[in-house]
Amino acid sequence: MAYVDGHDKPDDATTGQCPFCRAPQREDAEALIVHRGEHAYVVLNLYPYNPGHLLVCPYRHVADLTELTTAERDEVGALSATAMTVLRAVSAPHGFNLGMNQGEAAGAGIAAHLHQHVVPRWGGDANFFPIIAGTKALPQVLGETRELLAAAWPGATC
């Protein structure tokens, strides 16, 4: 319901409510951050489509891919590729959905802060819950998923 009610959906950086700006200020486990890079970080989606659904977010509060520097764009791409490698090692998905929704009209839940989705997929992973109950069954809590992915990230020390 927090998602439906618009909790943590900012219009701009002046509100101080952007979850993607607040997350890096918190401890990794509390914020569900899997990895921190120089220009971007990887965090579990609080409202995942599937277990292990990751978001790659630049630290800078920008809304559009064209606003990123070359270094930021390169790192978002590199972190997305590493996320796929880590997810394959941890949970053996059969495929992935990757993408960015640019603007509310395109389906961005938090349009004010750019983020790349990395969604692991398995054959037959769609079930009847989304249709009947408007929810999905996730067999693992976010904290456990975060620990597995953070520990498997290349160069991890946790």
- Positions marked catalytic: 115
**Residue-wise over 52-86: b if at least 16 C-beta within 10 A, else e?**
bbbbbbbbbbbbeeeebeeebbebbeebbebbbeb
b/e burial code for range 103-136 (CB count within 10 A of at least 16 → b) = eeeeebebbbbbbbbbbbeeeeeeeeeeeeeeee
